[in-house]
Amino acid sequence: MIHRQEITELLKSPPIGEDVTVMGWVRAWRGNRFMVLNDGSGAETLQVVVNGEDFPEETIRAIGFHACVGVTGELIESQGAGQAVEVIAKEITIYGGTDLSEYPLQAKSQTMEFLRENAQFRMRTNTFSAVFRLRHALAYAINKYFHDRNFYYLHTPIITGNDAEGAGEMFRVTTLDPADPPRTEEGAVDYSQDFFGKSTHLTVSGQLQAEIGALAMGKVYTFGPTFRAENSHTSRHLSEFWMIEPEIAFADIDNDQDLAEDFLKYLINYCLDNYRADLEFLDARIKQAEKNMKAELRRPMGLIEMLEFTVKDDFARITYTEAINLIQRSKPYKKKKFEFPVEWGTDLQAEHERWLVEKHFKKPVIVRDYPKSFKAFYMRLNDDNETVAAMDILFPYIGEMVGGSQREEREDVLRTRMKEMDVHEDELAWYLQLRTFGGCPHAGFGLGFERMVMYVTGMSNIRDVIPFPRAPKTADF
Amino acid sequence: MIHRQEITELLKSPPIGEDVTVMGWVRAWRGNRFMVLNDGSGAETLQVVVNGEDFPEETIRAIGFHACVGVTGELIESQGAGQAVEVIAKEITIYGGTDLSEYPLQAKSQTMEFLRENAQFRMRTNTFSAVFRLRHALAYAINKYFHDRNFYYLHTPIITGNDAEGAGEMFRVTTLDPADPPRTEEGAVDYSQDFFGKSTHLTVSGQLQAEIGALAMGKVYTFGPTFRAENSHTSRHLSEFWMIEPEIAFADIDNDQDLAEDFLKYLINYCLDNYRADLEFLDARIKQAEKNMKAELRRPMGLIEMLEFTVKDDFARITYTEAINLIQRSKPYKKKKFEFPVEWGTDLQAEHERWLVEKHFKKPVIVRDYPKSFKAFYMRLNDDNETVAAMDILFPYIGEMVGGSQREEREDVLRTRMKEMDVHEDELAWYLQLRTFGGCPHAGFGLGFERMVMYVTGMSNIRDVIPFPRAPKTADF
């Protein structure tokens, strides 16, 4: 049995004058005397004073950046500035290998690309441990928010036989021998002999199945991985990412907006209230990095400032038609500063969304009632027959944070929309049945988890907010 | 905006004499007068008194089993037995379709197979809503347990390029055209042209990546879907299931056992303390179903009795060698009642495990130090060079609930074990590096989530504890 004390717990009420045993990784090693130790229990580090004459030469030599060390010693009030307490080492154990000369990471800062390639070690850095603590914080807050409000967590399937979700390109899941698959008489691949007896893919969304849950248990949410097989090499896209999709019965688009606004504010407040040290570290890191940047490349606000900006006011709420009118009357539009055209019937682009949020309303904006032409078949048709009860929530810097809608609960209208959009009825017979039997007005939305982690941590590449990113040509670890 | 009151919240302190608005699904409709409504917010139902003369004929006709109904009326102390309060309906809204004559479910009980085929509706039944509330409860309790103890939730990859995890058959993930894949000059399928630039599969375990997390952040856990492409048609196997894998640094096999025992007891106590009504319903359901069963087919204990049995005492802790000796000295062994042989070097079977738990120790049992011959390459070799620091936790009725181990932290020993077991070093260079740089003793375990949900709900088929089961030839919804 190994006994140790966690640094985070120890620092809550430090037992001055007592011997403690801590174990962790060296974050800094100054003057062969001061060792800064972090054990992963939190952002906190503990300074260990190592008197060289008390330890064998090889112990001192083995201490270095990210060495794994156990220390027993007396906890005292710190003699130096910078920390309240420190430990005078009496015993030191070096764990793992003792030769760090080949260790890929160095105490000076590395490029993000290099750290991505060395993801087996990047969580030991100050930046990534803060990012992954905040990722954890957000995940926990999501579960807590819904649990406290009588939502039930629903695991929707990862492998799906539905081809109708329609949110993007899909990955095939198969156990057929790709070198020599079974064939039908016509020579096509015979998927009836595949593992599931048909062609299957990785899910792009759990929404349709979440509707089953909502129309039985009232309020449910999903929180699971989703997939896109698009060949996108951007800093905003992953092939595998996590998504949260609440779905609520007896709700229209107004209830949906209220829920989403309350939920997003809760998540951000949870981090501001409970993970302040990590946010302050990341805030300072960004300000440092932006010092030598051109003004137009800098973020519109500091990290904490932007999070506080997000939760401070009611979100603005406008219709898509109002948004188009506002943008067409704007200065940048008149001065032809926008790259993309703005006219009724085309989707808003990030530059338009950011103008609405950052320049015009100066707070997050919910845009609703989009033209049906570029929205999904399941969104509820408004009485104008031209728009659907869809809503997007726009945030500064990042643009769209949430997309949601009231679902079409009228069976005949849904059937017509499916025909118009070439969605095959026979594949979604169960989905139509939800309208025939015991259906009701219901609504929901989707939040891309990594997008939220990016917003809260200020990281600019989505590959740096998930432990092991998957992207085209990238499936390491 | 739709306004309603949730039944669970309403019943916490019922506003007698006030008008309330509730919406939900009809669980029972008695004598064209008494409507029992559940809205999914909890196990609680609310009785609505419908005076036929106050409503149009078609409203009364549309009320039926699982009809979706909104009611406004006065909440009063109940005139009849069986409930404390009831609502006298003033307004009734029928949602969704109004003709239930073709509704697949009926008020009488259906077979489990039939409900599985109609999974779009089964969550509306008393049994399945209780099961899925408990599934939620367990998921929430898992996150809360770890969060409260400074563990960080780590999302390990679903799509993996590692072929070395070795826990079972894998599903291929691909975007190549299966009818005509690109070929190398030698005629093999050219996976370098696949989406990720190599052959990829669905994960069978997040453990190896979780070790990365533990050796940086101290204590982490995964909670995500895992996959097995085995052609198993049993009531205990799924092709897609959820797994929890905590991994802790500075820990040996004893720390691992302590954590697992404390964790399992916490989960069960959480359900006993917070979801008693659902457990009592399921307990009674099982007792009813077992009335006409032969004694040997019945469960060894009632549901709640078995859960209380699990948490009441310290788990027994023995070595594999002790277990073999005990079984060889047992009555059923001497009377040749066991189907499978028992000798040192072979794995324990469910019948042996259940004898240890149910007959011999009469409490859950942790067995450790298994022969290395049938255990994984990453388990720490004991000083006897014959056994590894692995442990299984055995529960009544279900057998193995948890499997875990201390991980081999000695690079040279690990390298030798990998060679012996034909695990390719070059694929796991990063895994070996975790030993070279900043490694330490560490340990972890895996809990199959659905197995735990089965244990807590008493459901006997694993397909009935996951909303949309995936199994050979089964990928509906």
Residues contacting A347, CB < 8 A, separation 6+: A370, A374
What DSSP letter does each residue of B1-12 carry, written as one string?
------HHHHTT
Chain A residues inside the 8 Å CB shell of B438: 25, 66-68, 95-97, 103, 121, 124
Phi, psi angle pair for B263, to nearest 5°: -65, -50
Specify whether the CB–CB gap between A293 and A332 falls below 8 A. Answer: no
Count other C-beta atoms under 10 Å from residue B111's C-beta.
8
DSSP annotation of B466 reads S
Please indicate, yes or no, if residue A115 is contained in any of the structural domains: no
Specify whether the CB–CB gap between B212 and B442 falls below 8 A. Answer: no
Residues B213 and B101 in one domain: no
B173 touches chain A (CB under 8 A): yes
Residue B56, pLDDT above cutoff 80: yes
Tokens of B178: 């299966």
Please indicate, yes or no, if residue B180 is contained in any of the structural domains: no
Going A371 to A373 to A378 to A384, the CA torsion angle's sign is positive
Residue B89, pLDDT above cutoff 60: yes
Average pLDDT value for residue range B98-126: 91
Average pLDDT value for residue range B403-413: 97
Q: What is the C-alpha to C-alpha distance for residues A207 and A430, in angstroms, rounded to an integer?
A: 14
Residues A251 and A297 in one domain: yes
Distance set, CA B135 to CA B257, B453, B467 (Å): 24, 6, 10
Would you call B120 and A212 a contact, using CB atoms and an 8 Å cutoff?
A: yes
Which member of B123, B218, B433 has the closest CB to residue A217?
A: B123
Which member of B133, B173, B250 has the closest CB to residue A173?
A: B173
B227 touches chain A (CB under 8 A): yes
Which 3-state string (H, E, C) describes A207-252? HHHHHHHHHHHCEEEEEEEEECCCCCCCCCCCCEEEEEEEEEECCC
Residues A318 and A386 in one domain: yes
- The reported pLDDT for the residue numbered A164 is 59
Tokens of A43: 């952002």
Average pLDDT value for residue range B432-446: 97
Residues A55 and A136 in one domain: no
Q: What is the C-alpha to C-alpha distance for residues B162 and B262, in angstroms, rounded to an integer?
A: 32
- The reported pLDDT for the residue numbered B98 is 81
Q: For strand A219-227 and strand A152-153, is the pairing parallel, antiparallel, or unpaired?
A: parallel
Alpha-carbon gap: B117 to the closest alpha carbon of chain A (Å): 10
Ranges under pLDDT 50 in chain A: none
Nearest CA in chain A to B258: A1
Q: What is the C-alpha to C-alpha distance for residues B439 and A103, in angstroms, rounded to an integer?
A: 12
Rounded to the nearest 10 degrees, the angle between the axes of helix B207-217 and helix B429-436 is 30
Would you call B150 and A42 a contact, using CB atoms and an 8 Å cutoff?
A: yes
Chain B residues inside the 8 Å CB shell of A102: 436-437
Mean pLDDT of chain B: 95
Average pLDDT value for residue range B277-302: 92
Q: For strand A365-371 and strand A316-319, is the pairing parallel, antiparallel, or unpaired?
A: parallel
Which among B245, B261, B474, B477 is the top mutation candidate for probing chain A, defined by the most A β-carbons within 10 Å of its own β-carbon? B477
Number of H helices, E strands in chain B: 14, 16
Tokens of B319: 């070595």
Interface of B with A in 76-95 (CB under 8 A): 95
Interface of B with A in 387-406 (CB under 8 A): none
B213 touches chain A (CB under 8 A): yes
Confidence of residue B460 (pLDDT cuts 50, 70, 90): very high
- The reported pLDDT for the residue numbered B167 is 63
Tokens of A405: 């809608």
Would you call A189 and B174 a contact, using CB atoms and an 8 Å cutoff?
A: no
Specify whether the CB–CB gap between A27 and A44 falls below 8 A. Answer: no
B333 touches chain A (CB under 8 A): no
Please indicate, yes or no, if residue A475 is contained in any of the structural domains: no
Residues A60 and A156 in one domain: no
- Burial degree of B85 (CB within 10 A; 0-12, 13-18, 19+): middle
Residue B122 β-bridge partners: none
A407 touches chain B (CB under 8 A): no
Would you call B229 and A195 a contact, using CB atoms and an 8 Å cutoff?
A: yes
- The reported pLDDT for the residue numbered B99 is 86
Please indicate, yes or no, if residue A307 is contained in any of the structural domains: yes
Q: What is the C-alpha to C-alpha distance for residues A288 and A105, in angstroms, rounded to an integer?
A: 21
Phi, psi angle pair for A180, to nearest 5°: -155, 70
Residues A99 and A232 in one domain: no
Type and span of the H or E element at B35:
strand B34-38
B193 touches chain A (CB under 8 A): no
Please indicate, yes or no, if residue B470 is contained in any of the structural domains: no
- The reported pLDDT for the residue numbered A282 is 98
Number of domains in chain B: 2
The residue count of chain A comes to 477
- B244: three-class secondary structure by DSSP: strand
Domain that includes residue A379, residue range: 126-169+204-464
Rounded to the nearest 10 degrees, the angle between the axes of helix A126-147 and helix B207-217 is 110
Average pLDDT value for residue range B409-436: 94
Count other C-beta atoms under 10 Å from residue A295's C-beta.
6
B302 touches chain A (CB under 8 A): no
Please indicate, yes or no, if residue A472 is contained in any of the structural domains: no
Would you call A475 and B196 a contact, using CB atoms and an 8 Å cutoff?
A: yes
Tokens of B318: 């023995």
Please indicate, yes or no, if residue A458 is contained in any of the structural domains: yes
B67 compared with B106, residue with greater pLDDT: B67
- The reported pLDDT for the residue numbered B171 is 96
CATH code: domain of residue A24 = 2.40.50.140
- B70: three-class secondary structure by DSSP: strand
Would you call A439 and B97 a contact, using CB atoms and an 8 Å cutoff?
A: yes
Phi, psi angle pair for A452, to nearest 5°: -65, -40
Residues A53 and A153 in one domain: no
Taking only the tens place, the pLDDT of each residue in B33-43 is 999 999 999 99
Residue B143, pLDDT above cutoff 80: yes
Query: In the listed set A59, A81, A108, which residue is the last one of a domain according to the structure?
Result: A108
Alpha-carbon gap: B331 to the closest alpha carbon of chain A (Å): 35
Count other C-beta atoms under 10 Å from residue B424's C-beta.
12
Chain A residues inside the 8 Å CB shell of B70: 250, 440
Would you call A157 and B129 a contact, using CB atoms and an 8 Å cutoff?
A: no
Residue B165, pLDDT above cutoff 60: no
Specify whether the CB–CB gap between B264 and B393 falls below 8 A. Answer: yes
Residue B253, pLDDT above cutoff 70: yes
Q: What is the C-alpha to C-alpha distance for residues B170 and A288, in angstroms, rounded to an integer?
A: 46
- The reported pLDDT for the residue numbered B162 is 82
Residues B292 and B401 in one domain: yes
Category of A9 on φ-ψ map: left (φ > 0), alpha (ψ -120 to 50) or beta:
alpha
Which 3-state string (H, E, C) describes chain A? CCCCCCHHHHCCCCCCCCEEEEEEEEEEEECCCEEEEECCCCCCCEEEECCHHHCCHHHHHHCCCCCEEEEEEEEEECCCCCCCEEEEEEEEEEECCCCCCCCCCCCCCCCHHHHHHCCCCHHHCHHHHHHHHHHHHHHHHHHHHHHCCCCEECCCCCEECCCCCCCCCCCEEECCCCCCCCECCCCCECHHHCCCCCCEEECCCCHHHHHHHHHHHCEEEEEEEEECCCCCCCCCCCCEEEEEEEEEECCCHHHHHHHHHHHHHHHHHHHHHHCHHHHHHHHHHHHHHHCCCCHHHCCCCCHHHHHHHHHHCCCEEEEHHHHHHHHHCCHHHHCCCCCCCCCCCCCCCHHHHHHHHHHHHCCCEEEEEEEHHHCCCCECECCCCCEEEEEEEEECCCEEEEEEEEECCCHHHHHHHHHHCCCCHHHHHHHHHHHHCCCCCEEEEEEEHHHHHHHHHCCCCHHHCCCCCCECCECCC
Identity of residue A251: A
Taking only the tens place, the pLDDT of each residue in A161-219 is 986 556 679 999 999 998 999 999 999 999 999 999 999 999 999 999 999 999 999 99
Tokens of B22: 């509730």
Alpha-carbon gap: B54 to the closest alpha carbon of chain A (Å): 23
Please indicate, yes or no, if residue B330 is contained in any of the structural domains: yes
A200 touches chain B (CB under 8 A): yes
B316 touches chain A (CB under 8 A): no
CATH code: domain of residue B329 = 3.30.930.10
Residue B19 β-bridge partners: B74
Category of B196 on φ-ψ map: left (φ > 0), alpha (ψ -120 to 50) or beta:
alpha
Category of B350 on φ-ψ map: left (φ > 0), alpha (ψ -120 to 50) or beta:
alpha
Taking only the tens place, the pLDDT of each residue in A225-256 is 999 999 988 999 999 999 999 999 999 999 99
Which among A106, A437, A450, A452 is the top mutation candidate for probing chain B, defined by the most B β-carbons within 10 Å of its own β-carbon? A437
Residues A54 and A160 in one domain: no
Residues B371 and B414 in one domain: yes
Which member of B153, B178, B468 has the closest CB to residue A157?
A: B468
Would you call A218 and B250 a contact, using CB atoms and an 8 Å cutoff?
A: no
Tokens of A171: 């990955």
Predicted TM-score (pTM) of this structure: 0.97
Interface of A with B in 33-72 (CB under 8 A): 39-42, 66-68, 70
Residues A85 and A222 in one domain: no
How many whole angstroms from its chain centre is CA A168?
19
Residues A353 and A417 in one domain: yes
